[in-house]
Amino acid sequence: MRATAIAQPNIALIKYWGKRDCDLNLPAVGSLSVTLGSIGTRTTVEFDATLNADRVYINEQEADSANRRVENCLDRFREKAGIAHKAIVTTANDFPTGAGLASSASGFAALVVAADRALELNLGADELVDLARISSGSAPRSLFGGFVLLENDSGGGTRCSSVLAPETWPWSIMIAVTSDAPKKVSSTDGMESSRTTSPYFSRWVETHDADLQAAVANIEKRDFEKLGELAERSCLKMHAVAMTSSPPLLYWSGATLECAQNIRELRKSGVSTFFSIDAGPQLKAFCLPENSEMVRESLESVPGVLRVISSKLGEGARIVE
Ligand code: PMV
């Protein structure tokens, strides 16, 4: 009743921000992401009839009530398996946790894959997508590799799939880390505040599908420049919605903005690259592998950048033990 899985974070090119159903954690909009290849979460789940409570260890620290989300996720697996056993979950990230690097996405993707194997449920991909999504809206995307589309379906749920395998169109991703501190407002709280208070939220939802479809078409055409334009705009639209919430949400630091200007300058000088920013102060730059050293050096020169993590595209969540 024990299994270990690895899952990698993903970064959305076309962002998800806002929910249409908080209980089922259904997103208001679809999203399109890339799964990273060089940083990850390793999670072991062991169900044990002798335990009287779930125990969750994140990066070697025992976690407290914040881990209701993990317990809720385990409850759904227990229900499917028809057992009451509690579990020990041990999870470790090799990157900063809770700082806009999608640790919840890789964490819950690894958890559902490991729990499924530990209980020998052999659930189908759609069921794993639903179980991952209920815990974290971006987690289903880490179940798949390469370029991944998460869409609302007509039946009131979501579906998720890889639109292009990682080796088909190799990319480099540079993450400029500007802070290791966890964010002050979680994405769940932030997006709910945006939904209820930002005057731009309804326009965000109305205009989102066109961005998503255009991005998928440009992946099919392998048009890096067009995709970059769409992705940078989707990121800035999301932050415009966040910034116009009440109270306003500003996830950037000064260094985040300096990095964004740096990437735009680099692009003006002829290097094909674009950026994205999530609910935290790190900036993610994307380029083709031939430009990766130039982009890395350029970001490293920005004051306030603590380090640059470089990654290629990666695979979906998988069992390792
Ligand atoms: O998975 P969550 O609920 O933490 O939300 C992720 C939201 C963003 O990272 C800001 C955007 C996205 O689509 O990944």
Cα separation, 95 vs 111, in Å, equals: 17
246 exposure class (CB count in 10 Å sphere: 0-12, 13-18, 19+): exposed
Q: Summarize pLDDT for 104-136 with one digit per residue, the tens.
A: 899 999 999 999 999 999 999 999 999 999 999
Q: Which of 176, 170, 177 is nearest to 287 (CA)?
A: 170
Q: Summarize pLDDT for 154-183 with one digit per residue, the tens.
A: 888 999 999 999 999 999 999 999 998 877
The DSSP H or E segment spanning 107 is helix 103-118
187 Cβ closer than 6 Å to some ligand 1 atom: yes
- Give the predicted TM-score (pTM) of the model: 0.95
Banded model confidence at residue 184, pLDDT cuts 50, 70, 90:
confident
Cα separation, 309 vs 35, in Å, equals: 14
pLDDT of 96: 67
106 Cβ closer than 6 Å to some ligand 1 atom: no
105 Cβ closer than 6 Å to some ligand 1 atom: yes
Pocket test for ligand 1, best of 11, 204, 278, 282 (most atoms within 8 A of CB): 278
**DSSP β-ladder status, 283-287 and 273-277:** antiparallel
Q: What is the CA radius of gyration of the chain?
A: 19
Q: Higher-confidence residue: 67 or 6?
A: 6
Q: Which phi and psi angles does 257 have, rounded to 5°?
A: -65, -40
Q: Which of 320, 321, 317 is nearest to 111 (CA)?
A: 317
292 Cβ closer than 6 Å to some ligand 1 atom: no
279 Cβ closer than 6 Å to some ligand 1 atom: yes
Domains, the chain, ordered by start: 2-165 (3.30.230.10), 172-311 (3.30.70.890)
Which DSSP state fits 140? Answer: G
Residue 127 CA to ligand 1 centre (angstroms): 20
Q: Which of 129, 158, 133, 155 is nearest to 144 (CA)?
A: 129
Burial code (b: 16+ CB inside 10 Å, e: under 16) for 163-187 equals: ebebeeeebbbbbbbbbeeebebeb
